[in-house]
């Protein structure tokens, strides 16, 4: 029985995909797999039993990735599963920033007792007039699963779209409308665009990337949309940019002590991926990733170990090894197999930064002695007999 613990509510449509060999009512301490959405795991004590964590969503800043990698715990996310939900959220954010719908709605609430409110509204509505987004220039920073959907949707809405992503993959490029203008310098986004939306992960290189220097390049009245991570925008600097009129509106999905109540900001309580469809999609993908790893050893969509997929095992046994990406580990692994008289019929080794992952399909099942010898190799983190 494989013990699974859910740190947050995970959609039933996903959990139902687990076979009867999985116990989804496990305690955190006994779990071999964890499913999580937003729970913060940095201060949690991780059990030696734990093999994998799957984040039902894209961002993984709530999970201690290096700590997990050092313990041989593979961390997965679900890229693209909530992309459409966030795309629609971004489009809504653009419209809220362009048309003072929120202000108009507030006026109606404040005047609900006016018996002649229809007539009063005709006089009041000019205070809430806005502008259309058709024909405006939108800069999309980051053209991953979400960014490319936003760019394509904006093209369909008649916007002129500029896209910036120095790491644009071939697959992403194929999915991107040919009408999107590919920009090689992010400063051109800041200088040219009326609307700017950010879709990059929170890393040391991206934190605070939209800062005073960026605001100084922008046209007066620029709209900034941030449904990615709050740390991407220098919030003290954007407060000044809003006050000066350099930025007309800042729409953020991340309320905090700085943004809540900020003049000129539309702050939404992190609703980007909060749709039934997105939660279902994320749950299904996360459960499939966990099951494939537990049952076959395959790693797909990991954020701390390399992807490695050998399908299902067709030999007598399969062994999976999490190890450091250092010289001689592979030769020592194969030497152990040779010394034990075990033939390696198929093997895959992949690396990612400081860490690597190897799978070996072997001619006979691996004994406890083989596992002990593999585990004793310098640089090996965790050994698991998959089959």
Residues 221 and 291 grouped into a single domain:
no
3-state secondary structure at position 361:
strand
Residues 122 and 8 grouped into a single domain:
no
| Cβ-contact 39, 61 below 8 angstroms | no
Structure tokens at 331: 């030769």
pLDDT of residue 59: 85
Buried b / exposed e along 352-387 (16+ C-beta atoms within 10 A): beebbbbbbbbeeebeeebbebbeebebbbbbbbbb
pLDDT of residue 167: 87
Structure tokens at 263: 């003049």
| Cβ-contact 138, 194 below 8 angstroms | yes
3-state secondary structure at position 379:
coil
| Cβ-contact 329, 379 below 8 angstroms | yes
Between β-strands 137-141 and 160-164, what pairing exists: parallel, antiparallel or unpaired?
parallel
- State the CATH number of the domain containing residue 335: 3.30.70.260
Residues 188 and 113 grouped into a single domain:
yes
Residues 155 and 34 grouped into a single domain:
no
Structure tokens at 217: 């390049």
Whether the CA torsion 296, 299, 301, 302 is positive or negative: it is positive
Residues 159 and 139 grouped into a single domain:
yes
CA angle 310, 61, 32 (to 5 degrees): 50
pLDDT of residue 263: 95
pLDDT of residue 274: 92
How many separate domains does the chain show? 3
pLDDT of residue 229: 92
The number of angstroms, rounded, from the C-alpha of 177 to the middle of its chain's C-alpha atoms is: 22
- The tens digit of pLDDT for each residue in 269-307 reads 999 999 999 999 999 999 999 999 999 999 999 999 999
pLDDT of residue 170: 82
| Cβ-contact 383, 358 below 8 angstroms | no
Residues 74 and 160 grouped into a single domain:
no
Expressed as residue numbers, the domain containing 352 is 309-387
Residues 254 and 330 grouped into a single domain:
no
- The tens digit of pLDDT for each residue in 6-53 reads 999 999 999 999 999 999 999 999 999 999 998 999 999 999 999 999
| Cβ-contact 68, 45 below 8 angstroms | no
pLDDT of residue 124: 96
Distance in angstroms (rounded) separating the CA atoms of residues 73 and 304:
9
Distance in angstroms (rounded) separating the CA atoms of residues 362 and 331:
16
Residues 301 and 313 grouped into a single domain:
no
pLDDT of residue 72: 98
Distance in angstroms (rounded) separating the CA atoms of residues 174 and 177:
8
pLDDT of residue 173: 86
Buried b / exposed e along 217-256 (16+ C-beta atoms within 10 A): ebeeebbbbbbbbbbbbbbebbbebbeeebbbbbbbbbbe
Residues 127 and 53 grouped into a single domain:
no
Q: How many CB atoms lie within 10 A of CB 257?
A: 7
Could you list the beta-strand ranges (E) of 187-294: 195-198, 222-226, 247-252, 265-267
| Cβ-contact 121, 228 below 8 angstroms | no
DSSP 119-158: HHHHHHGGGG-----TT-EEEEE--SHHHHHHHHHHHHTT
* Residue at which a domain ends, from 210, 242, 267: 267
- State the CATH number of the domain containing residue 205: 3.40.50.720
Q: How many CB atoms lie within 10 A of CB 139?
A: 27
Residues 108 and 241 grouped into a single domain:
yes
Residues 185 and 250 grouped into a single domain:
yes
pLDDT of residue 203: 86
Q: Sort residue 68 into left (φ over 0), alpha (ψ -120 to 50) or beta.
A: alpha
pLDDT of residue 64: 97
* Residue at which a domain ends, from 253, 287, 305: 305
The stretches in the chain having pLDDT less than 70 are none
Residues 21 and 93 grouped into a single domain:
no
């Amino acid at each position: 029985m494989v013990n699974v613990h859910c740190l947050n509510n995970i959609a039933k449509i996903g959990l139902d995909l687990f076979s009867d060999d999985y116990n989804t009512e496990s305690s955190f301490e006994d779990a071999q797999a964890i499913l999580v959405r937003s729970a913060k795991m940095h201060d949690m004590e991780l059990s030696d039993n734990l093999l994998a964590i799957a984040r039902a969503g894209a961002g993984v800043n709530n999970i201690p990735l290096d700590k997990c990698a050092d313990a041989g715990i593979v961390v997965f996310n679900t890229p693209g599963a909530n992309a459409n939900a966030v795309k629609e959220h971004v489009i809504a954010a653009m419209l809220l920033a362009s048309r003072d719908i929120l202000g108009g709605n507030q006026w109606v609430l404040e005047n609900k007792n006016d018996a002649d409110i229809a007539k009063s509204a005709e006089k009041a509505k000019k205070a809430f007039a806005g502008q259309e987004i058709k024909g405006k220039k939108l800069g999309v920073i980051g053209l991953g699963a979400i960014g490319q959907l936003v760019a394509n949707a904006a093209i369909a809405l008649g916007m002129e779209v500029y896209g910036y992503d120095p790491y644009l993959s071939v697959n992403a490029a194929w999915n991107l409308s040919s009408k999107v203008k590919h920009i090689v310098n992010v400063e051109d986004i800041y200088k040219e665009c009326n609307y700017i939306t950010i879709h990059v992960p929170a890393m040391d290189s991206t934190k605070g990337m939209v800062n005073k220097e960026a605001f100084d390049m922008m046209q007066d009245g620029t709209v900034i949309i941030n449904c990615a991570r709050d740390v991407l925008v220098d919030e003290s600097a954007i407060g000044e940019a809003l006050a000066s009129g350099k930025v007309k509106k800042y729409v953020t999905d991340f309320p905090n002590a700085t943004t809540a109540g900020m003049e000129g900001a539309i702050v939404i309580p992190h609703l980007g991926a909060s749709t039934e469809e997105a939660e279902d999609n994320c749950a299904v993908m996360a459960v499939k990733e966990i099951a494939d790893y537990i049952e076959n050893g395959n790693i797909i969509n990991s954020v701390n170990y390399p992807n490695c997929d050998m399908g299902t095992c067709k030999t007598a046994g399969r062994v999976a090894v999490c190890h450091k990406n250092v010289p001689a580990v592979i030769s020592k692994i194969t030497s152990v197999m040779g010394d034990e008289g075990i033939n390696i019929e198929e093997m895959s080794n992949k690396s990612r930064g400081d860490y690597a992952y190897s799978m070996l399909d072997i001619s006979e099942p691996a004994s406890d002695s083989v596992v002990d010898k593999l585990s004793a190799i310098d640089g090996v983190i965790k050994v698991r007999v998959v089959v």
